[in-house]
Amino acid sequence: MKYAKILTYKYKNTEWALDGDDYEGLVWLSDTPKPTKAELDAQWDEVKAIIQAEAEAKAAKKAALLDRLGITEDEAKLLLS
């Protein structure tokens, strides 16, 4: 999943295909130069941080909404079922 995540976050305006999640399965379809394995590997920590920040922001929004509504997560699930 690592290379798919890196490519999705850092190469949004490019076309590529990935067979599996090994660099060897990367088929570069864009006119731009294909990033090297080392370049992609160097971006993994940054992408992990972005993913973590997104998850934390989503959790904070969820908690704020539940707080504003004055209900628990379990109560919200009951309303939606």
Tens digit of pLDDT for each residue in 25-77? 999 999 999 999 999 999 999 999 999 999 999 999 999 999 999 999 999 99
How many other CB atoms sit within 10 Å of the CB of residue 50? 14
pLDDT of residue 21: 84
Report CA-CA distances (Å) from 4 to 8, 22, 29, 80.
6, 9, 15, 32
Alpha helices (H) along the chain? 2-10, 37-69, 73-80
Q: Which domain holds residue 48?
A: 2-80
Is the full-model pTM beyond 0.75?
yes
H/E stretch holding 33 reads: none
Using one digit for the tens of pLDDT, what is the confidence trace for 4-24?
999 999 999 999 999 998 999
Return the percentage of the chain with pLDDT > 90, whole number.
Answer: 94
Q: How many domains does the chain have?
A: 1
Please name every residue paired with 17 in a beta bridge, in sequence order, or none if there are none. Answer: 27
* CA nearest neighbour of 34 among 47, 21, 19, 15: 15
